[in-house]
Amino acid sequence: MKTLLITGGMGFIGSNFIRFVLNLNQEFKIINVDKLTYAGNPKNLETIDQKYPKRYKFYKIDICDYESIDNIIIKNDVNFVINFAAESHVDRSINNPSLFCDTNVAGTISLLNAAKKNKIEKYLQISTDEVYGSLDFQEPPFSETHQLLPNSPYSASKASADLIVRSYFKTFNLPINITRCSNNYGPYQFPEKLIPLMINNALKDKELPIYGKGINIRDWIYVNDHAIAILKVLLEGEIGEIYNIGGDSEINNINLVKKLLRILGKPESLITFVKDRPGHDLRYAINHEKITKELSWKPTINLEDGLKLTVKWYLENENWFKSVITKEYLTYYEKQYNQR
């Protein structure tokens, strides 16, 4: 049985990946390490330890704590490290860049050093398409050879981490892969992100704040498709390579929100436009030809179906919504949009 060390496994993408792997494959044991910040929610994996008592363990640890990470790798005979742990919200990075450098850069170095010391089989860095910067409307999608031109403290911290991961491959021969994915959506996403925020506000007949004119374009991928791609790269990806993961679902923000309102049966009059955030990238688009050709992966859930599945999940899990919308979150949210 192979052991995976998953960092940030109580977050949105990490928790979805853990459920996917444990449900799919009896050959893997999961060690989940998470600092449990505001976006790391134990309710995301509430029954997993009961369902898989011999194949799942959780440790509340900061990835910057090298000694603890090293001990966990030794104690659990870890084969692979997959780093999901990250501060990930662009707005928060504008308000506090230092926090993002601490977790996303220094934390990655801590994990790499532990992985190198213990000679793990592979280290997989989960990154983002935002490291490439912004595209104009007519430019071709990002490929793996696209120059890194991050425009926010968040994306700059992720680009820095990617480069450090690559350096450990080149300098120390550490077996690594890096994946860069487009915008994820689906169950268990913290409601500061666009899709769950819009769903939550619409259900309460509150205003739906959209930056600028809503023309910014993103490529969207259902989180389960991302999980499948990550496992493919972990097991089959060529050592040292970077793989882009895209959803083939480019859409601007205003049209995305209108789709959600139609699914929810809510009026477009709820939409309100707010002052744009600084450095707001115009467009992201992913060319995933490499992973499709080399690893036979492609997205399977289109945007229409994925949004319906996502809305259905949030409607059926109102208690989860209530558990994550804390006083701290509401205070931050109100302050954030009142500033715009």
Query: Residue 181 phi/psi, 5° resolution?
Result: -115, 155
Q: Which residues 6+ apart lie within 8 Å of 51 measured at CB?
A: 22
Task: Give the Cα-Cα-Cα angle 264, 269, 270 (nearest 5 degrees).
Answer: 60
236 is catalytic: no
Q: Which of 62, 87, 130, 192 is catalytic?
A: 130
- CA nearest neighbour of 72 among 55, 60, 84: 60
225 is catalytic: no
Q: Which of 154, 168, 185, 284 is catalytic?
A: 154
Cα separation, 258 vs 331, whole angstroms: 27
Q: Is residue 181 within 8 Å of residue 130, measured between CB atoms?
A: no
Cα separation, 248 vs 235, whole angstroms: 24
End-to-end CA distance of the chain: 51
Query: Residue 8 phi/psi, 5° resolution?
Result: 70, 30
Burial 150-175 (b: 16+ CB within 10 A, else e): bbbbbbbbbbbbbeebbebbeeeebb
59 is catalytic: no
Q: Which tokens sit at 264?
A: 């929810």
Query: Residue 277 phi/psi, 5° resolution?
Result: -80, 155
Q: Which of 34, 62, 91, 129 is catalytic?
A: 129
Q: Which residues 6+ apart lie within 8 Å of 292 measured at CB?
A: 298
Q: Which tokens sit at 177?
A: 């892969």
Q: Which tokens sit at 198?
A: 């819009």
What is the set of active-site residues? Answer: 129-130, 154
